Structure formats: C-alpha cells, structure tokens
Amino acid sequence: MKRAFSILAVLTALLLIYSTYQALVVAPTERTMGDVQRIFYYHVPSAWTAFCLFFVNLIASLIYLARKNLKADALAVAAAEVGVVFCTIVLITGPIWARPVWGIWWTWDLRLTLTLVLWLIYVSYLVLRRFSDSSQTPKLAAVLAVFGALDVPLVYFSIWFFRTQHPQPVIGGGGSLDPRMLHAFLINLFAFSCFGAMVCWWRYRLELLHREVEEMESLESLRGVTQ
Amino acid sequence: MNAIKFLWAAYIATWLIHGLYIGSVARRYSRLRQRMKELRK
Amino acid sequence: MSSLRSITLATLTKDIRLEWRSRDAINSMLFFSLLVVVIFSFSFDPNAEESREIAGGLIWVAFLFAAVVALNQTWARELRNQVLDAYRASPAPANALFVAKALGNFILVTLLEAVMAPLFMIFYNLRALGPAWQLIPVAILGTWALVVNGTFFAAMSLRTRSREIMLPLLLFPISIPAVQSMVEATRIILAGDGSARFWIVLLLTYDVVFTTACLALFETILQAE
C-alpha cells in the first residue's frame, strides 16, 4: 500500500509539473486578457476538485448515517478538509484574476459566489467537528453535510436569479476556447483531480492512524488504572 | 507588465497553500507514527 | 396523529406560560431589538431614496441578530433540568418537541419583529411603493426559515464548546439563500421595482425543504445529544 502510494504521489507531482508547463508555456496567450488569463488553468480545475471532494463528503456522510461506518466518517473529514483547501485557492485566485482584468476584486459571479457559500458551509462543518464532543461528532457533522447539500441548489438559484436582475461581470472564460487552450485546461483538470484525490487519501490515512493511536492510548490508560 | 505580477501571485499562492497544508499533514503523520511506535513497545 | 399534536401543544403552552411568568428574557430581548434598530439608524443614515434601497437588507440583518439572541435560549431551560434525557427515554415522538420549540421561537421572533419593524419605518421614513401586503408572506416565510433551522442548529450546538457562537456559525451559511430572498423581496416591494414573486417562491421552497429535513433528522440529533 505504501509503495503504491509513493509511486502515485510521484506520478501526480510529475503530472502537475507537466500541466503547469502546459498552462504557462504551451497554451497560447489569450487575445483580450493577456497572460493573466493563465490563472484560469488553475482556478477552474481547483473549483472542480473542491466540488468533487465536497460531493465525496456528502456520500461518505450519508453512508455514515445509514450504516454507522466509522471509516466513512474518516473519509468525510478528509474530503471536507482537503475540499476547503482547494476552495480557499479558488477564492484567492478568483479575485487575483479579476483585479487586473476587470478592475474589481470581487463580483457576484455565479461560480465564485457558490464557491464562497460552500466554503462557508464547510468551514462551519470543520468548526463543528473541532468543537463538539468526540463521541457524537460524526453524527452531527453528517447531518450538517446533508443540510449543506440541500442548501446548494437553493443557493445556485438565488444567485442565478439575482444576477439576471443585477447584471454582473462574468469571471472565468466564457466563449470559445482555442483547441490548445482546451487541451491545457483538460490536462490541468485531470492533474488537479488526481492531486486532490491523493491528498484526500493521505488525509484519510492520517485520520485512521489518529483514531488508532487514540484507541491505543485509551487502552493504555485503562491498563494503567487496573494495575 | 503589471498584470504578470498577478499571474505569478496566483500560482505562488496556490502552491504556498498546498505546501502548507501537505506539510502539516506530513508532520502530523510522522508524529503519530512515532507515538504508535512508542505505544507498541 | 393526535398524540403528536397534543404533545406539541402541551410543550408549546408550557413554554409560553413559563416565559410569560418571568418576562425577563422577553423584555431584555425586546430592548436588544430596539438597540439594534437605533444603532443601525446611526450607522446608516441616508435620505428617503437610498433608504428604500438598503432598508430590505438592514431590517433583515437586524431581525437575524435578534433571532440569534432568541434562538440561543431555546434549549436552555431543558438543559438545566435534564428534560432532554427524560424526553429521550419517553416514547413521545421527538418531532413533537421540535415543532413545539420551533413554534415557540417563531412566536417570539415575530414579536420582536413586530416591535422592530414600525421603528424602522419611523426612523427611515419607509413607505412601500409596491404591494405592501406582500410583506406579510415574506415576513412569515422568512422568519420561519430562520427559526426552523435555528432551532435545529441550537439543538446540535448543545454538545459543543462555545455553544452560543456555534449557533450563528452554523446557521448563517445555510441561511444565505433565505436571507438573500428576504432582502431582495423586501427591497423590491418597498421600491416598487418589479415582482417579488420569484423570491417568495424561493423562500417557500427553502421552508419546505428544510422543515422536512429538520423533522426527518431531529430524532437523530436528539439521540446524539
């Protein structure tokens, strides 16, 4: 298992180097926005990865609620945490891209706003996990994940309608893509997905290890008490 | 061009954040492995 | 189910009776609501035109803060007297307790809004340029949206550190579509600027979705507590 993980980690790193090369060098410069547009190759794949990870968290939470499977809960934590990391990057690269191109730091762009709300929901998820009693945390967190998932379509519609009433600039490559750009984009999409999966897997194993150590420590203290 | 600074800022910020996170995961992992070895003795 | 209804009613009337007998909690909340309106009036002091634009947002932010103060005490009495343990052991359906608490909060928050809304209208010289009657479904649906999730998250927060901050922390992100709907609907009605129908429908959808979710999952978190 460890050997496989190390190999995949190296492969993922190489893939990321290649995809970054594609993004920075191979892809042609965009006509209207210039080289700053290359942020797109990081911004959108990160968003995609974050949303996938949040989806994994939802499924893992549902499995936990249905089967009380603790491994599912461990996966839920891992997916949520790594998802928040990718989400943070989306929220940082978005404004960095918007500022030179459209002159504003923020806009109520659909994807960006949805990302912000998801970030808020999942940060609150992580805070709940940190602040609650360890015995019942999985159940409470899983319920919150379900609420978050129910919220997402409602958020989407409210932002969508708001934007039809108050037109806002659109961040993030509308319009047709040059085939070389599409190529670079897809490679980055694939690279970041693999990267997200790897980090999530690692975090999952960390969580399992953490729980194992906790269990052993409590057994240890019990042994100390009975002696 | 000034805009290029933003490009680099975005890419560097991305890897800085990823680096910090992965670093913290790695650190916790090795610390737990150490603890595990102690407990197993 | 008549047992559901009778338990809900019994719990609700008990709560109202207890609150009424010692009116301290309600009085301090009312005063808090008044303070919020006054502070907002000092902070945002525009002329009549601008005030109609931002009044929607202001009113609902003020209501939100007042609601959080009310919601935080939802389970305080139950916690002090180990009522929740008794409830878990009894065959009574958990939903009855939840509905009673949610309705109690709804009444309380509506009371606070009834105090704050006229004050807002006075301080900001508000007049509805659109169909004013539409403000009533907005207020009812919007308040229920905050209260139903707020009561649920208050129960979830019981087993957490920093209980009082946990409630708004969980409630605010999830409430974003509801708050946006309330604010936009209010803005549209006050400014007479189009139809608020979409937002009212969205609020209704939000209420249906989350009332169902809360009723379905309350038993789960009651057991967790």
Question: Model's pTM, two decimal places?
Answer: 0.91
Mean pLDDT estimate for chain C: 86
Contacting subunits of A (3+ beta carbon pairs below 8 A): B, C
Residues C150, C167 contacting (CB under 8 angstroms) = yes
Q: Do A20 and B13 touch (CB under 8 A)?
A: no
How high is the pLDDT of residue C7? 80
* Mean local confidence (pLDDT), A208-226: 87
* Mean local confidence (pLDDT), C212-219: 94
**Which residues have CB under 8 Å from C3's CB, separation 6+?**
C92, C93, C96
Q: Nearest CA to C124 among C31, C179, C194, C54?
A: C54
Contacting subunits of B (3+ beta carbon pairs below 8 A): A
Nearest CA to CA, how far is C224 from chain A (Å)? 6
* Mean local confidence (pLDDT), C79-96: 78
Phi-psi region of A177 (alpha: psi -120 to 50; beta: other; left: phi over 0): beta
Mean pLDDT estimate for chain A: 89
pLDDT tens across A102-151, in order?
Answer: 888 888 888 889 999 999 999 999 999 999 877 889 999 999 999 999 99
Give the burial string for C191-202 (b: 16+ CB within 10 Å, else e).
Answer: beeeebebbbeb
**Which residues have CB under 8 Å from A117's CB, separation 6+?**
A151, A152, A155, C173, C176
Residues of A in contact with C180 (CB under 8 A): 158-159, 162
How high is the pLDDT of residue A195? 95
Q: Do A165 and C184 touch (CB under 8 A)?
A: yes
* Highest averaged pLDDT of the listed ranges A46-50, A217-221, C33-37, C121-125: A46-50
How high is the pLDDT of residue A173? 56
Which of A124, A150, A159 faces C173 most closely, judged by CB atoms?
A124
Is the pLDDT score of C42 beyond 90? no
Helices (H), chain C: 2-21, 24-43, 48-72, 76-80, 83-89, 94-124, 135-157, 163-191, 197-224
Residues of C in contact with A157 (CB under 8 A): 177, 202
Is the pLDDT score of A7 beyond 70? yes
Confidence of residue A53 (pLDDT cuts 50, 70, 90): very high
* Highest averaged pLDDT of the listed ranges A152-166, C23-37, C84-98: A152-166
Tokens, residue C204: 């209704």
More confident call, C103 vs C74: C103
Contacting subunits of C (3+ beta carbon pairs below 8 A): A
* Highest averaged pLDDT of the listed ranges A22-31, A186-195, C40-49, C115-124: A186-195
Q: Nearest CA to C178 among C73, C67, C77, C78?
A: C67
Query: What residue type is C196 in one-letter code?
Result: A
- Count residue pairs from A and B with Cβ separation < 8 A: 79
Segment 141-160 of chain A within 8 Å of chain C by CB: 143-144, 146-148, 150-151, 154-155, 157-159
**B37 to chain A: closest CA residue:** A213
CA separation, residue A130 to residues B30, C60, C159, C162 (Å): 21, 30, 12, 11
Query: What residue type is C163 in one-letter code?
Result: R
Q: Around Cβ A70, how many Cβ atoms within 10 Å?
A: 13
How high is the pLDDT of residue C81? 74
Is the pLDDT score of B4 beyond 80? yes
Q: Around Cβ C77, how many Cβ atoms within 10 Å?
A: 14
Residues of C in contact with A149 (CB under 8 A): none
Which of A20, A202, A210 faces B32 most closely, judged by CB atoms?
A210
Segment 91-130 of chain A within 8 Å of chain B by CB: 92-93, 96-97, 99-101
pLDDT tens across C163-177, in order?
Answer: 889 999 999 999 999
Q: Do C213 and A157 touch (CB under 8 A)?
A: no
Is the pLDDT score of C132 beyond 90? no
**Which residues have CB under 8 Å from C129's CB, separation 6+?**
C52, C190, C191, C192, C193
**Which residues partner with C160 through β-bridges?**
A132
Q: Provide the percentage of residues in chain C whose pLDDT is more than 90.
A: 32
How high is the pLDDT of residue C47? 67
Query: What residue type is C108 in one-letter code?
Result: L
* Highest averaged pLDDT of the listed ranges A153-167, B22-36, C15-29, C186-200: B22-36
* Mean local confidence (pLDDT), A184-210: 94
Q: Do B10 and A210 touch (CB under 8 A)?
A: no
Q: Provide the percentage of residues in chain A whose pLDDT is more than 90.
A: 58
Which of A100, A199, A205 faces B6 most closely, judged by CB atoms?
A100
CA separation, residue A75 to residues A210, B36, C27, C126, C224 (Å): 13, 21, 47, 52, 20
d(CA B6, CA A101): 10
Residues of C in contact with A123 (CB under 8 A): 173
Residues of C in contact with A144 (CB under 8 A): 156, 170
Which of B14, B22, B39 faces A220 most closely, judged by CB atoms?
B39
How high is the pLDDT of residue C102? 93
More confident call, C166 vs C23: C166
More confident call, C71 vs C54: C71
Is the pLDDT score of C225 beyond 90? no
**C168 to chain A: closest CA residue:** A124
**Which residues have CB under 8 Å from C15's CB, separation 6+?**
C77, C100, C101, C104
- Count residue pairs from A and C with Cβ separation < 8 A: 83
d(CA C173, CA A117): 6
Which of A39, A101, A213 faces B32 most closely, judged by CB atoms?
A213
Is the pLDDT score of C6 beyond 70? yes
**Phi and psi dihedrals of A114, rounded to 5?**
-60, -40
* Mean local confidence (pLDDT), A83-97: 94
Tokens, residue C32: 């808090």
How high is the pLDDT of residue A172? 58
**B34 to chain A: closest CA residue:** A213
Nearest CA to CA, how far is A92 from chain C (Å)? 19
Is the pLDDT score of C51 beyond 80? no
More confident call, C193 vs C152: C152
Confidence of residue A171 (pLDDT cuts 50, 70, 90): low
How high is the pLDDT of residue C46? 62
Q: Nearest CA to B17 among C169, A81, A207?
A: A81
Tokens, residue A163: 């934007």
* Mean local confidence (pLDDT), C28-41: 85
Q: Per this entry, what is the length of chain B? A: 41
Confidence of residue A101 (pLDDT cuts 50, 70, 90): confident
* Mean local confidence (pLDDT), B14-37: 95
d(CA B15, CA B17): 5
Confidence of residue C162 (pLDDT cuts 50, 70, 90): confident
d(CA C22, CA A163): 48
Which of B2, B11, B36 faces A100 most closely, judged by CB atoms?
B2
* Mean local confidence (pLDDT), C135-141: 93
Is the pLDDT score of A163 beyond 90? no
